[in-house]
Chains A and B, each alone.
Chain A
Amino acid sequence: MKTQNQKAWLFVLPVLLLVAFNAIIPIMTVVNYSVQETFGNNVFFWEGLGWFEQILRSERFHAALGRQFLFTALVLVIEVPLGIAIALAMPRSGFWVPVCLVTMALPMLIPWNVVGAMWNIFTLPDIGLLGYFLNHTLGITYDMTQNPVAAWVTIITMDVWHWTSLVVLLSYAGLVSIPDAYYQAAKIDGASNWSVFRYIQLPKMKNVLTIAILLRFMDSFNIYTEPFVLTGGGPGNSTTLLSIDLVKIALGQFDLGPAAAMSLIYFAITLLVSWLFYTLMTKDDAR
């Protein structure tokens, strides 16, 4: 048998340690909590799958999960087509390319809690630029602390503002990698603009779009900071997304067992949807 160089393990070791401390060990702690009941003082009682059953039957969980799926679906439906459209409209060469790219990247560079605070102030009815304009200039009653619809419109708009750029930049990267000959051939073949998009640009963007949608799905499904700062889950429970509800249960009510079970279910859903989506999108390439 051929002797193999085993040195590679040495290089993997730091990563393994890092992942162990920031992912594996915390998750195992959560698993530990999810199957036990504790009243403090490090006293634990075995609970089995009781917490999981309780969470899965809980109407509160169903409602939060429903809101979460609605939020993610709206975000994806708006951001992906909008991102592609902006990427198509961006110049491919010349002076304006770096200007566009940097402008596009700006929202993504802002810390998440700052984004929440910005939009909070921006939409205040009495002093916020947008809030004041809508209420006092246009005469539209708009107050996200009172009206659930206004709250939803605000968090969706905020997320679109914050993250559409990611779709734009990834799509743009896919677009600029298409050689000129493709466009020239399409012109000669008499292809319409739609055909060029459908048969050249979209197929060439497929891989980056898969990544973009995957990232946007995971990020929006796990979103916490921005809506927490912006609406705090209100008014009422109307914008209480899964993560906000989870923190309420874990740190507000200190129900560590149910919170741990909920985190694992939450994690499993994210993983399952991502895996399904990725498998479906890359199925054709394997052939």
Chain B
Amino acid sequence: MAKITLSKLRHSYYPNPAAPEDYALKQIDLDWQDGGAYALLGPSGCGKSTLLNIISGLLSPSEGRVLFDDRDVTRLPPDQRNIAQVFQFPVIYDTMTVYNNLAFPLRNRGVAEAKVDERVREIAAMLEVSDMLNHRAAGLSPDKKQKISMGRGLVRDDVNVVMFDEPLTVIDPHLKWKLRSKLKELHHRVRATMIYVTHDQTEALTFADQVVVMQDGEIVQIGTPVELFERPEHIFVGHFIGSPGMNVLPCDVKDGQAFIDGRNIPLEGPVRDGVAARAEIGVRPEFVSLAATGLAGTVRKVSDIGRHSVVETMVGQNRIAAIIEGETPGQGDTVHLQFRQDQTRLYSGGWLATSSRGAVT
């Protein structure tokens, strides 16, 4: 068990990187607290697997250091870091039984056979695979195989961190939910640091206490699922999390006030200094409502998604989605939109540029 510190980490797959876009990881400074449940969330190609492989030691970073409890492990190979990793596709040793698969990491480290037996049975019970310990692992279904892979990661009781690299990709949808809750439960029982890499926001938000959102090799925000949802630090986070994502509307900024087509839009709080004349307003569809007055728009599409409806309107060239409960307008109707003030924010250059009233900044 250890706290993991990433310090000034940069990585490039090119031998002589020059421009920033040559870097798969631009600059990462991050602490992972001992025993935390983290998710690393981002679209494909954002560098999250690269980051994971650097922590596990499968990849050596171009620059920067990896510390486990202040011990520099940057150049150590994976087997000396005492970590575990579960891969996208289940990796099992085909010719071995389930029991031997689970025992493999322990036996390789010369653990006494009595202790091996105890741990294997304990983990098997946790994963509910006790009845198949003597089966050959090759014949199992993908979700069971993935459980065995997880088990191989958890069987050592001294692992510093268990990492999951999109582990549910090949699992049937109805089993995904089960495995995910199993994972959550396992985290509570073994209390190891866990890092879960995914591009699926549902997986990230249900599993993690802290979510790290990445884009283009950079961390854009770290926070609890609620923080990410309610106060995205960057337009990307607003877009990426939520369904539909945050509305982003170009606006003019004058004297610390935001205007769309000349109409003043009240913001959550004061705008920070040095914001350009052109910026963007961000507001989640959950906080857009229909009213008698406000921005005028034309309804383009109404989708009923169960408990509520998503109303898409066009305001000038901009599309604004609103989540509405109850009665909805018809297609082509003209409506007026109101934004809830404490949830309406200004973004400049992509980054949050307002502070909420009453917040200490």
Which residues of A are interface residues toward B (Cβ below 8 A)? 179, 181-182, 184-185, 187-192, 195, 199-200, 203-204, 287
Interface size on B, residues (CB 8 A): 24
For residue B349, give the distance in angstroms from its CB to the closest CB of chain A. 38
Q: Is the CB of B96 within 8 A of A199?
A: yes
Q: Is the CB of B77 within 8 A of A189?
A: no
Interfacial chain A residues near B105, Cβ < 8 Å: 188-190
A191 with B95, Cβ < 8 A, contacts A184-B58, A184-B78, A184-B85 known: no
- The complex places the Cα of A155 from the Cα of B79 at a distance, in Å, of 47
Q: Is the CB of B88 within 8 A of A188?
A: no
Which residue in A181, A182, A190, A191 is a CB contact (below 8 Å) of B88?
A181
For residue B164, give the distance in angstroms from its CB to the closest CB of chain A. 13
Q: Is the CB of B89 within 8 A of A179?
A: yes
Which 9 residue pairs across A and B have the least CB separation, nearest first?
A190-B108, A185-B91, A181-B87, A190-B79, A189-B105, A199-B93, A188-B78, A187-B78, A203-B95
Closest A residue to B155 by CB, please name it.
A189
Q: Is the CB of B85 within 8 A of A185?
A: yes
Residue in A184, A185, A188, A204 whose Cβ sees the most chain B Cβ within 10 Å: A188
Q: Is the CB of A189 within 8 A of B95?
A: no
B145 at the interface (CB under 8 A from A): no
Which residues of B are interface residues toward A (Cβ below 8 A)? 56, 58, 77-79, 83-85, 87-89, 91, 93-96, 104-105, 108-109, 136, 139, 149, 152
Chain A contact residues, majority secondary structure: helix
Closest B residue to A181 by CB, please name it.
B87
26 inter-chain pairs at a CB distance below 8 angstroms, sorted by A residue, are A179-B89, A179-B91, A182-B91, A184-B87, A185-B85, A185-B87, A185-B91, A185-B152, A187-B58, A187-B79, A188-B56, A188-B58, A188-B78, A188-B83, A188-B105, A189-B79, A189-B104, A189-B152, A190-B79, A190-B105, A191-B104, A192-B108, A199-B96, A204-B94, A287-B136, A287-B139
- The complex places the Cα of A185 from the Cα of B57 at a distance, in Å, of 12
- The complex places the Cα of A45 from the Cα of B227 at a distance, in Å, of 100
Q: Is the CB of A185 within 8 A of B149?
A: yes
- The complex places the Cα of A188 from the Cα of B59 at a distance, in Å, of 12
Q: Is the CB of A181 within 8 A of B89?
A: yes
Interfacial chain A residues near B89, Cβ < 8 Å: 179, 181
- The complex places the Cα of A200 from the Cα of B139 at a distance, in Å, of 16
Interfacial chain A residues near B84, Cβ < 8 Å: 188
Closest B residue to A191 by CB, please name it.
B108
- The complex places the Cα of A203 from the Cα of B138 at a distance, in Å, of 11
- The complex places the Cα of A184 from the Cα of B56 at a distance, in Å, of 10
Interfacial chain A residues near B152, Cβ < 8 Å: 185, 189
Known interface pairs A187-B77, A190-B79; 6 further A-B residue pairs with C-beta atoms within 8 A, sorted by A's residue number? A179-B91, A181-B87, A181-B89, A187-B58, A200-B93, A203-B94
Interfacial chain A residues near B78, Cβ < 8 Å: 184, 187-188
Closest A residue to B100 by CB, please name it.
A199
Interfacial chain B residues near A200, Cβ < 8 Å: 93
Interfacial chain B residues near A187, Cβ < 8 Å: 58, 77-79
Interfacial chain A residues near B109, Cβ < 8 Å: 190
